[in-house]
Amino acid sequence: MEEVIKIEGGHLLNGKVRVSGSKNATVALIPACVLGNKPVRIYGVPEISDVDALIILLEELGVQVIREADDTLYIDPLGMENRPMNSEAVQKLRASYYFMGALLGKYGRAEIKMPGGCFLGPRPIDLHLKGFEALGAKIDYRDGCYIIEADELKGTRIFLDISSVGATINIMLAAVYAKGRTIIDNAAREPEIIDIATLLNKMGAKIHGMGTSTLVIDGVEQLGGCFHEIIPDRIEAATYVLMAAAMAEDMTIENVIPQHLDAILSKLSEIGINLEIGSDFVHVFGNDPKGELRPTEIITKPYPGFATDAQQPFTPLLTRARGQSMIRENIYGERFKHMDELRKMGANTYVRVPDGFVYGPTPLKGAKVRATDLRCGAALVIAALMADGETEIHDIYHIDRGYDNLDKKLRSLGAVIWREEVEDDPDFKQN
């Protein structure tokens, strides 16, 4: 048996929805907490399966973790031990690689299996490893595990060939205890990096230049504990704004930092969506869910450009645009698997990597589809809300990795969505 999400399309959305804490920040903040020697309390933790996997990993290291409330984690590393990380939980999420930097920084040694997560094409961690080597670490790969160790980490200047979010964070985690000053040039500028650096600074780190392409980390001898509230999830916010653009009469998305969504909100205005942008909310109103939109071109870029995570949820909306819309994916070449699934629902799409094309307008119809990754799942939920009839979404564990209480939030807005156990269909999985 398999649990699926079913959605009856065509129901208009109305009301308010509150965005949860950032998934992409949370999965790095939790490993960062083990760098200290005192408890850390994090507020705004989303209820997602990635957090469950990280808690398992913390407990395997001897870290005490307590869920004090629905959105609060208490993390006490006092009894922590540096053990090899080779359990199944490591392979359930890509963000487990942040323990490389955290353990290397704290103990001078990390042993960890190759991490898992959504397959979005090659996502090598060579930039992470080069950064560790620049700090003085030696790296070996044996029996599927990375072994990274250093007698002493020393600050240095590191230039990233690509402004990688993961590499920026991982090098920062390792460098907080390195002797001297570490400078990361061409560092990623995403809001999540600022949030993680803010947490570390509260713990006693000395990190400067957050939000710029040059990060400066002055090594310290010890870190303590702190209280920290996670920033709102900009991709969850974008997803609900896109849901509103697709199917809302009058809907407000709350707990938003609008400047984090500038590129997406500008693109929505360009294609013809009415928006009101407040200090911490986005209000979508006065749109015709059956009306035609203007075609557009989307080009994904590192922050503050159009987020790669948002191009998939944006795609269903383009089925309402007259003419050709183009999406150029500059970050992850495999982020077009949703196009195949949308075709099952009647979309007219074509992919020639790095470009994807949507031709419209084409009405969508309910179908049996598969969430091939997290943001593909979000795209299919939006398409299902728009579609005529019932849609059945499989492999929903991808959706649960990154969206907090999706079903509950959508039902509160008027969507008809539920979960159901169905018989496994091997033939469908192979298609």
Active-site residues, by number, are: 118
Query: Is 301 assigned a ligand-binding role in the annotation?
Result: no
For residue 2 the two structure tokens come to 């398999």
User: What is the sign of the dihedral through the CA atoms of 204, 214, 134 and 168?
Assistant: positive
Query: Is 411 assigned a ligand-binding role in the annotation?
Result: no
How many angstroms separate the CA atoms of 20 and 33, rounded? Answer: 20
Query: Is 125 assigned a ligand-binding role in the annotation?
Result: yes
Query: Is 195 assigned a ligand-binding role in the annotation?
Result: no
Query: Is 24 assigned a ligand-binding role in the annotation?
Result: yes
How many angstroms separate the CA atoms of 139 and 344, rounded? Answer: 45
Query: Is 331 assigned a ligand-binding role in the annotation?
Result: yes
Query: Is 170 assigned a ligand-binding role in the annotation?
Result: no
For residue 291 the two structure tokens come to 């009306």
How many angstroms separate the CA atoms of 214 and 16, rounded? Answer: 38
Instruction: Give the SS3 label for residue 125.
Output: coil
Query: Is 127 assigned a ligand-binding role in the annotation?
Result: yes
Query: Is 328 assigned a ligand-binding role in the annotation?
Result: no
Query: Is 5 assigned a ligand-binding role in the annotation?
Result: no
Residue 419 backbone phi and psi in degrees, to 5? -110, 150
What is the number of helices (H) and of strands (E) in the chain?
14, 23
Of residues 74, 162, 73, 60, the one with CA closest to residue 113: 60
**Residue 339 bridge partners (DSSP):** none
Residues composing the chain:
431
**Which residues make up each annotated binding site for phosphoenolpyruvate?**
23-24
**Which residues make up each annotated binding site?**
23-24, 94, 123-127, 309, 331
**Which residues make up each annotated binding site for UDP-N-acetyl-alpha-D-glucosamine?**
94, 123-127, 309, 331
